[in-house]
Amino acid sequence: MRVALARVATAVTAMVALSFVLPLGLLNGQIARDRALTAAERQAASLVPALAVTTDPAALEAAVGSVPAGTAGTLALHLPDGGPIGVPRATAADLDRARDLRRTFTVEAGDGTVLLRPVLLEGGRVAVVEVHVPDAELTRGVARSWTILALVAFALVLVSVAMADRLALRVVRAADRLAHAVTRVGGGELGARVRPGGPAELRAAGEAFNQMADRFARLLAAEREAAADLSHRLRTPLTALRLNLHGLAADPSDPTRLGQSKDALDRLEHAVDEVIQAARRPPERAGCDAARVVRERLEFWSALADDQDRRWDLAVPGGPAPVPVAGDELAAAVDALLGNVFRHTPHGTAFTVTVHRGQYSTGLLVGDAGPGIADVPAALARGTSGAGSTGLGLDIARRLAEVTGGSLKVGAAPLGGAQIELWLRTAAKPGGRRAARRK
């Protein structure tokens, strides 16, 4: 790129320099010629006073010798009645033309230019002053001016190339940094970023690349978390199947246990199908009735609760409790919270589920009479569990709440154990008002 920009700068500057150098060089040549002819005309005019006073050849010869051109042998005087004084170079035809025109003009000679000036004498006679201007005088200083102009043009080209190279270096460095960062990200180094620099376009490209890389990293992390969350849904039917099999092992001939185990296998198959469909389905914003979803999930968990002698209670509002999340997502969060109760509390531990419909949010409160949660921050950390589980249950519920602008809290339940509060934002609070208290 640097070479290409240098070539472009050379071509452009050379064209601009030539557009100025050529006219200036030609103008200098014309000025030198005009200067030489003007000097010759002044020397010819210096003999006019002498011709006005006398026509004596001896006196005029002395006058010619006093002029620098006469001393140099380039001036001649043609009298009407006598021969020329000095060294003549003009032809007879040119002299006759000067007498006829009676004005100054120039003619070309072999080694220069001859200026002829007619002078009107008494009686209508005409004398002609001839001044020869050599070619060296006509072009004096022209070669030097051409040399200076050429050097100036060359210097301009060099300066423009140097400046273009400096600018190109700035562009190339920024482009190289961007290309290097793209290569690193393409090689799997997702934390690679570029420091934006260079022209505004490259800075914008660098910033766009950083934003794209950040979004790519977030999407990849979200995909990984989504895969873990979808897999976590299988734990609910697996838990039911494990409990049924445990009871079946105690009494293999119990037909009720056999039926429940078959139902658990069917639910497991259905859960696997849902995981596959959810993995292929693009994300979309939807809504559901939280009260209806909680009732449906308690209908499933109630069978397990009865098997484990767990007393449970459900409190939901009389009407619908709409929330801005998909029904299967809320069902997964409910299963995660209830699954924690069944996995982390002993058999016979009571629990309650409450759906609270507020003005700006809807809450799902799951409390139990178990030992509680000793380390709340560790329990809320994704992938952390002190009871041999995946440690994803609370994180699934927390992320679902944060999608709506809500939150997940861990507190003490009225039954004496832990209470998980999942709050889903349903409406934005008016600006400047204090947050509504949740009761």
Residue 290, pLDDT above cutoff 50: yes
What pLDDT is stored for residue 192 in this prediction? 83
Confidence of residue 188 (pLDDT cuts 50, 70, 90): confident
Mean of per-residue pLDDT scores for the chain = 81
What pLDDT is stored for residue 387 in this prediction? 46
Percent of the chain with pLDDT over 70: 80
Q: Is the dihedral of CA 397, 399, 403, 408 positive or negative?
A: positive
Confidence of residue 10 (pLDDT cuts 50, 70, 90): confident
In this structure, are residues 396 and 382 in contact, taking their beta carbons and an 8 Å threshold?
Answer: no
Encode pLDDT of 165-178 as tens digits: 777 777 777 888 88
Structure tokens given for 102? 């009676």
In this structure, are residues 264 and 291 in contact, taking their beta carbons and an 8 Å threshold?
Answer: no
Confidence of residue 267 (pLDDT cuts 50, 70, 90): low
Lowest mean pLDDT among 121-125, 212-216, 248-252, 322-326: 248-252
In this structure, are residues 133 and 115 in contact, taking their beta carbons and an 8 Å threshold?
Answer: yes
What pLDDT is stored for residue 281 in this prediction? 55
What pLDDT is stored for residue 384 in this prediction? 47
Lowest mean pLDDT among 152-161, 269-278, 419-428: 269-278
Encode pLDDT of 85-112 as tens digits: 888 888 889 988 998 888 999 998 878 8
Residue 385, pLDDT above cutoff 60: no
In this structure, are residues 420 and 357 in contact, taking their beta carbons and an 8 Å threshold?
Answer: no
What pLDDT is stored for residue 114 in this prediction? 92
Confidence of residue 179 (pLDDT cuts 50, 70, 90): confident
Judged by phi (left if over 0) then psi (alpha if -120 to 50, else beta), residue 48 lies in alpha
In this structure, are residues 257 and 244 in contact, taking their beta carbons and an 8 Å threshold?
Answer: yes
Residue 80, pLDDT above cutoff 70: yes
- Return the DSSP state at 81: S
Please state which of the four CATH numbers 1.10.540.10, 3.40.50.970, 3.30.565.10, 3.40.47.10 is assigned to the domain occupying 287-439: 3.30.565.10
What pLDDT is stored for residue 167 in this prediction? 76
Lowest mean pLDDT among 39-43, 154-158, 234-238: 234-238
pTM of the model: 0.43
Distance separating alpha carbons of residues 317 and 302, to the nearest angstrom: 19
- Burial of 357-373, coded b for 16+ CB within 10 Å and e otherwise, reads bbebbbbbbbbbbbebb
Encode pLDDT of 200-246 as tens digits: 877 888 888 888 888 877 777 766 766 666 565 666 666 666 666 66
Confidence of residue 419 (pLDDT cuts 50, 70, 90): very high
Confidence of residue 322 (pLDDT cuts 50, 70, 90): very high
Class of domain 233-282: mainly alpha
Confidence of residue 438 (pLDDT cuts 50, 70, 90): very low
Please give the sequence-ordered ranges of beta strands (E in DSSP) within 273-406, or none if there are none.
Answer: 288-289, 312-315, 322-323, 351-357, 361-368
Residue 257, pLDDT above cutoff 60: no
| Domain parsing of the chain, residue ranges | 233-282, 287-439
Please give the sequence-ordered ranges of beta strands (E in DSSP) within 72-195, or none if there are none.
Answer: 75-78, 84-86, 105-109, 112-120, 126-134
Residue 374, pLDDT above cutoff 50: yes
In this structure, are residues 349 and 310 in contact, taking their beta carbons and an 8 Å threshold?
Answer: yes
